[in-house]
Amino acid sequence: MTDALVDVLARRINHEKGDAGVVVVTSRRVARIYGRGFLDPLCRAIGAGKPLALPDGEDRKTWDSATRIFDKLLANRIDRRGWIVAVGGGVVTDMAGFAASVFKRGLQWAAVPTTLTGQVDAALGGKTAVDFGKGKNMVGTFWQPAFVCLAPAFLATLPDRELRCGLSEVVKTGVALSPRLLKRLEDCGEDILAKDHEKLCRIVAECAKLKLVIVAADPLDRGVRAVLNLGHTAGHAIEAAGGFQKWNHGEAVAMGLLVIASLAVECGKMKPEEKRRVYEIVERLGLAPRIRPGPEDAAPFLHLDKKSIGRRIQVIVPGPLGRTTVKTIEPGELLKEQYWSWS
């Protein structure tokens, strides 16, 4: 796959950037697996030097890593016409996009997401960020990439837990926007978990299309784009409660989805059997961890949500499947004990 991919990418990048400089940003893991076969030939073909390989992990989405990108851009004398090509997961694309948005007041950039989370969510839509203080993605910008290259072939080497993490965003997209996507997960869940290439391509294409329609309608996240945060209010609090280690983003979002689905049943938006269906999909995809958080674990972190309005929080309430409504609630409403014991 990689020769053809290098060729397509290099032609597109060279066509768009002309003789401007370019820096490739990646992660150490991606550099280890795809260095010789993909990154080196790509760098040669687009006239970039050695790629900058940042340390892996959500806890490395820091100012320090962003500073290393700025250092590399300076060292390579990138001017305002310059480009960044980000090849990696959400941490790499978020940080590279952030650096592109602020360096010399804005460079062009392209994203080549190598994880399922990146291909169905993180790399699409121009949200860029670094973590700061206790809040995830606390500092960032909206800065659309010139293009995003979706190549599900990268998923062949993705660890299973990372694949499941991405599937959580697919479940979210299905619950929020597309019963058809949920049906596909029900029909092909096992094949997808086994990394069937054709099935992964369909899921990625379908999910990306659904997301991009929303992004095109609301690129700056001032309205309808909030729907993509379904499950994320409780999800982010769960992730923080586990110190960003115990549960990964996907597991936390899947649990957040079940919490908000329970609230949706209570307020009559979702039928109990719809919630049951969501639970079964989450369970089958291996996204319902045995050790689960309780409301008391999440409570201290709910107010950190970027969408909070004063002491109240904005949540996306699902139901019926494929539709949502926005509701502003007291944090306590999300913390009812019965919402946190699913199944």
Q: Give contact residues for ligand GLY (rule: CB under 6 A).
A: 121, 125, 127, 221, 225, 228
Pairing relation of β-strands 127-132 and 83-88? Answer: unpaired
- Quick one: tokens of 335? 């913390």
Q: Which is nearer to ligand GLY, 44 or 209 (CB)?
A: 209
Question: Can you list the positions of beta strands (E) in 183-333?
Answer: 313-318, 324-329
> Which residue, 175 or 228, is less far from ligand GLY as judged by CB?
228
Q: Which is nearer to ligand GLY, 25 or 253 (CB)?
A: 253
Q: Are strands 22-27 and 108-113 parallel, antiparallel or unpaired?
A: unpaired
Residue 199 token pair: 């099935």
Distance CA 323, CA 308 (A): 22
Between 72 and 225, whose beta carbon lies closer to ligand GLY?
225
| Residue type for position 317 | V
CB of 225 to ligand GLY, least distance (A): 5
User: Residue 39 or 207: which CB sits closer to ligand GLY?
Assistant: 207
Query: What is the number of the residue whose Cβ is closest to ligand GLY?
Result: 228
**Least Å from the CB of residue 125 to ligand GLY:** 4
**C-beta closer to ligand GLY: residue 76 or 308:** 308
* Burial of 139 per CB tally in 10 Å (0-12, 13-18, 19+): middle
**What is d(CA 225, CA 124) in angstroms, rounded to the nearest whole number?**
12
Tell me how far, at minimum, the Cβ of 236 lies from ligand GLY, in Å.
11
DSSP letters, 119-177, are IIIITSS-EEEEEETTEEEEEEEE---SEE---GGGGGGS-HHHHHHHHHHHHHHHHHH
In whole angstroms, the minimum distance from the beta carbon of 90 to ligand GLY comes to: 9
Q: Least separation, in Å, of the C-beta of 79 and ligand GLY?
A: 30
Smallest distance, ligand GLY to C-beta of residue 177, A: 12
Query: What Rg value do the Cα atoms of the chain yield, rounded?
Result: 20
- Closer CB to ligand GLY, 221 or 251, in the complex: 221
C-alpha–C-alpha distance, residues 209 and 204, integer Å: 8
Q: How far is the CB of 127 from ligand GLY (least distance, A)?
A: 5
* Assigned token pair, 186: 């029900």
Q: Is the peptide bond before 55 cis (omega within 30 degrees of 0)?
A: no
